């Protein structure tokens, strides 16, 4: 399951680079397992002590991004860039660096891991698959949603029992330092330019994503999007049993759509029809097909898939209905942290010709916004910009529709209610990261919902 063997480092010192949610969870796990741990973070030591609270005695903390004293191995938290000075120092000294994902799974009592990656749709697919597991697992067994959504893997893995399942949303950050990660089931939804500022280029981003299946064996399964040529090409070396899904029937597909249904064919059974979840957009049909195939690969019955699909209402911050105020429907798509994700959101409003009040902006990721032009031209009434990327967005899109430089989210929501009319849709789909003005995309989305409720009275 993992390239990290705790027995090889018994009694040795561990270093954890980055003390965010998953890094701190990993540090606590290692301390509990008997390792002496030193954690490092770019935040000042005083701030760290206040925010981290009381820690186990086996954990010491260094602030300000300081390097480590001698250690036997290190764990890199997902958000730390590959070129971070402390990381470079560790590698120069020959210290092996593992991902938090691999270290956590070394303490998992099973190999029942279903991992989901892709540029977009990871969270919806992971939550939907987890919902199927909850419906379909036998009594006494459970599935835990973890990784980039839900519980940190370092918390979920050691607490799970034999026969339980982990449904892991795996980002490129989590995968890039994984050496021997091989889930029983992998899902690769799609790929588009994203996180290029972190990975320093598309090639490195693709290499990170491909690690979800690179160590899988012939006994494992890999669910793949047949409609994404980049995914198909990238998955050629994959040794697992490949289950392809596509929007239209075709040779070699295990899932497809037709007559308002999702059709699933697994093993020797005849194709079976499923009613898809009531979620907008073609992308959610793809997410549902991927979840259905992963569930079948895990041995779950179609009845469990059908029940989960019927009950599923979507996830917070992804094309989430946030209410209607002053006749304007408000939609929270704060999870759209890249251009491709915002394209998906715009495609979800085919009948909104010139009715979208689109909030764009935040911290850019190095990608152009020009791919949005065709849909902005036909579906957007006005653009409201916020954050660091505002000037670039105006340069790429400002000639198409009225553009209002708002700076902050509050100003953008106020402006939308001033210029909007009943029947319009206020869509927060920023195409940018949130870290210039918010703690994370969840914080941005919740503030948006609070603002629409307060300012829309």
| pLDDT (tens digit per residue) in 188-218 | 999 986 555 554 667 888 888 999 999 999 9
* Cα distances (Å, whole numbers) of residue 194 to 115, 329, 336: 19, 29, 11
Note the pTM of the prediction, 2 decimals: 0.86
What percent of the chain has pLDDT above 70?
Answer: 96
* Cα distances (Å, whole numbers) of residue 223 to 23, 28, 204, 286, 296: 29, 33, 22, 11, 11
Q: What is the pLDDT of residue 65?
A: 67
User: Average pLDDT of the chain?
Assistant: 92
- What's the order of all strands across the beta sheet hosting 73-76? 59-62, 36-40, 13-17, 73-76, 97-99
pLDDT over 80 (residue 406): yes
Instruction: Pick the closest to residue 61 from 78, 84, 81, 36 (CA basis).
Output: 36
Domains of the chain and any CATH numbers = 9-95 (3.40.50.720), 107-311 (3.40.1190.10), 320-455 (3.90.190.20)
| pLDDT (tens digit per residue) in 335-361 | 999 998 999 999 999 888 899 999 999
Q: What is the pLDDT of residue 319?
A: 92
Q: What is the pLDDT of residue 396?
A: 97
Q: Who has greater pLDDT, 70 or 107?
A: 107
pLDDT interval class at 83 (50, 70, 90): confident
Answer whether 300's CB lies under 8 Å from 133's CB: yes
How much is the average pLDDT of 49-66? 80
Q: What is the pLDDT of residue 166?
A: 98
Instruction: Write the CB contacts of 344 (distance below 8 Å, at least 6 apart in sequence).
Output: 120, 121, 281, 283, 336
pLDDT over 70 (residue 24): yes
How much is the average pLDDT of 54-81? 81
What percent of the chain has pLDDT above 90?
Answer: 71
Q: What is the pLDDT of residue 198?
A: 55
pLDDT over 70 (residue 1): no
Q: Who has greater pLDDT, 81 or 440?
A: 440
The DSSP H or E segment spanning 427 is strand 425-428
Structure tokens at 187: 């899902």
pLDDT over 60 (residue 177): yes
**How far is the C-alpha of 217 from the C-alpha of 233, rounded, in Å?**
18
**How far is the C-alpha of 115 from the C-alpha of 46, rounded, in Å?**
37
Residue 266, Cβ neighbours under 10 Å: how many? 17
**How far is the C-alpha of 245 from the C-alpha of 288, rounded, in Å?**
10
pLDDT over 60 (residue 381): yes
Q: Who has greater pLDDT, 352 or 404?
A: 404
Answer whether 26's CB lies under 8 Å from 83's CB: no
How much is the average pLDDT of 378-398? 97
Q: What is the pLDDT of residue 194?
A: 56
pLDDT interval class at 397 (50, 70, 90): very high
How much is the average pLDDT of 107-135? 95
**Beta strand 13-17 with 73-76: parallel, antiparallel or unpaired?**
parallel
What string of DSSP letters covers 258-324?
ETTEEEE--TTSPPEEEPPPS-SSHHHHHHHHHHHHHHHHTT--HHHHHHHHHH----TTSSEEEEE
pLDDT interval class at 228 (50, 70, 90): very high
- φ/ψ of 245, rounded to 5, equals -125, 150
């Amino acid at each position: 399951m993992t390239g990290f063997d705790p027995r090889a480092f018994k009694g040795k010192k561990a270093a954890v680079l980055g003390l965010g949610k998953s890094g701190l969870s990993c540090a606590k796990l290692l301390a509990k397992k008997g390792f002496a741990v030193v954690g490092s973070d770019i935040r000042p030591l005083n701030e760290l002590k206040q925010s981290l609270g009381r820690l186990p005695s086996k954990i010491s903390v260094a602030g300000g991004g300081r390097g480590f004293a001698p250690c036997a191995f290190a764990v890199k938290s997902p958000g730390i860039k590959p070129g971070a000075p402390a990381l470079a120092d560790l590698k120069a000294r020959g210290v092996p660096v593992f991902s938090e994902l691999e270290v956590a799974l070394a303490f998992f009592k099973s190999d029942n891991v279903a991992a989901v990656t892709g540029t977009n749709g990871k969270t919806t697919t992971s939550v939907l698959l987890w919902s199927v597991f909850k419906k379909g697992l036998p009594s006494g067994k459970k599935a835990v949603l973890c990784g980039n959504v839900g519980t940190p893997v370092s918390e979920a893995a050691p607490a799970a029992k034999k026969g339980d399942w982990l449904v892991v949303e795996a980002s490129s950050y989590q995968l890039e330092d994984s050496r021997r990660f091989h889930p029983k089931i992998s899902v690769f939804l799609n790929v588009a330019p994203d996180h290029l500022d972190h990975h320093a280029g598309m090639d490195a981003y693709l290499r990170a994503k491909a690690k979800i299946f690179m160590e899988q064996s012939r006994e494992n399964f890999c669910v793949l999007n047949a409609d994404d040529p980049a995914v198909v090409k990238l998955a050629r070396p994959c040794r697992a049993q490949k289950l392809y899904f596509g929007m239209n029937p075709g040779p070699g597909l295990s899932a497809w759509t037709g007559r308002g249904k999702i059709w699933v064919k697994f093993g020797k059974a005849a194709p079976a029809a499923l009613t898809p979840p009531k979620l907008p957009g073609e992308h959610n049909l793809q997410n549902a097909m991927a979840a259905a195939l992963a569930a079948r690969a895990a041995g779950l019955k179609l009845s469990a898939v059908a029940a989960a699909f019927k009950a599923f209402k979507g996830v917070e911050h992804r094309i989430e209905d946030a209410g209607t105020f002053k006749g304007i429907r408000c939609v929270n798509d704060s999870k759209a942290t890249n251009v491709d994700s915002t394209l998906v959101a715009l495609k979800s409003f085919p009948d909104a010709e010139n009715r979208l009040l689109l909030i764009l902006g935040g911290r850019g990721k190095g990608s152009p916004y020009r791919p949005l032009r065709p849909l902005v031209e036909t579906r957007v009434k006005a653009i409201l910009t916020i954050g660091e990327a505002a000037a670039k967005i105006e340069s790429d899109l400002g000639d198409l529709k009225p553009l209002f430089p708002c700076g902050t989210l509050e100003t953008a929501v106020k402006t939308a209610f001033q210029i909007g009319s009943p029947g319009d849709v206020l869509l927060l789909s920023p195409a940018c990261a949130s870290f210039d003005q918010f703690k994370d995309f969840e914080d941005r989305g919740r503030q948006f919902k609070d603002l629409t409720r307060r300012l829309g009275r």
